[in-house]
Amino acid sequence: MIPKSHPRYESLLLRDKMVKASKEGYLADSALIAHGRGEAFDYLIGEKTTYPAKRAMYVAVAAMLLSDNPVISVNGNATALACDEIIELANSIGAKIEINLFYRTDERVKIITELYKNHGFDNILGSLDDDIEYLQDIKNQRATASKTGIYSADTILIPLEDGDRAEILKKSGKRIITIDLNPLSRTSKMSNISIMDNIVRAIPFMTKIAEDLKTQDKQMLKEMIYDFDNEENLKESLEQIRIKE
């Protein structure tokens, strides 16, 4: 049991979740390393949601609400840290959820499919019995996508994604949104909207934003997207990383 008074309480809770997920068998070995990289960046921004991240979240939610076929892509890390919160966001904005694993094995896909079902989300895409296509005809694991999900999506939220996969998705002409604590990652640089925040803070905040933006005029949402400059916002995000004593 971690005492609540521990200065790194929240961070240690997340570590616990990752270790538990690893024992349950749906994380690749490198998942814990990727988590550690995220942790380091979170430490440097004070484990708080920054202003540029909030701005990007508003634009991301606006883009998803205006999309015809928005999809949230989930991997093991995202599931371990925020399964219920992802389901809530998907329900709020009317998005699909698709399993998309860097190291895809039938066993991992099966466990994650069950997890979402047990948490109340039945129509999970990218499962073993789903109709899988290859983006841009690239016959490679990185290019697999569910026919009714990522393959035909116009906007995709890819939290904690790897750069190769992000590149393929971007080249296939889709609008890409990422949640990635590293503003220097290839994924952050490649995305149309990059949210430099911890997934555990970002997803619930986006659900709140969705409740607000759903009641707003569509033209206003379009203008928010039009006015957003991801490169500029990433620069501002990077400025939030300061080494303080």
| Binding site residues, ligand ATP, CB under 6 A | 34-35, 37-38, 41, 81, 160, 162-163, 179-182, 185-187, 198-199
For residue 45, the minimal CB distance to ligand ATP (Å) is 11
Of the pair 59, 160, the CB lying nearest ligand ATP is at: 160
Least gap, CB of 191 to ligand ATP (angstroms): 9
By the 8 A CB rule, do 25 and 85 touch? no
Q: Shortest approach of ligand ATP to residue 235 CB, angstroms? A: 17
Which CB atom, from 163 or from 204, has the smaller least distance to ligand ATP? 163
Distance separating alpha carbons of residues 168 and 141, to the nearest angstrom: 11
Q: In terms of Cα–Cα distance, which of 141, 154, 87 is closest to 117?
A: 87
CA–CA distance, 174 with 151 (Å, rounded to integer)? 9
If the CB atoms of residues 127 and 198 are measured against ligand ATP, the closer one turns out to be 198
CB nearer ligand ATP, residue 37 or residue 142: 37
Cα gap 45→147, rounded to integer Å: 38
Q: Considering the complex, state which of residue 69 and residue 142 has its C-beta at the smaller distance from ligand ATP.
A: 142
Supply 77's token pair: 């890390």
Handedness of CA 58, 160, 74, 10 (dihedral sign): negative
Q: 9-24 vs 31-44: helix axis angle to the nearest 10?
A: 170
Integer Cα distance of 62 and 15 in angstroms: 32
Q: Which of 59, 158 has the CB closer to ligand ATP?
A: 158
Q: Which residue lies nearest ligand ATP, judged by its C-beta?
A: 38
Residue 191 near residue 176, CB atoms below 8 Å: yes
Are residues 162 and 77 in contact, defined by beta-carbon separation less than 8 angstroms?
no
The two counts, helices (H) then strands (E), for the chain are: 10, 7
Minimum distance, C-beta of residue 74 to ligand ATP, in the bound complex (Å)? 13
Least gap, CB of 38 to ligand ATP (angstroms): 2
* Min CB(215)–ligand ATP separation in Å: 28
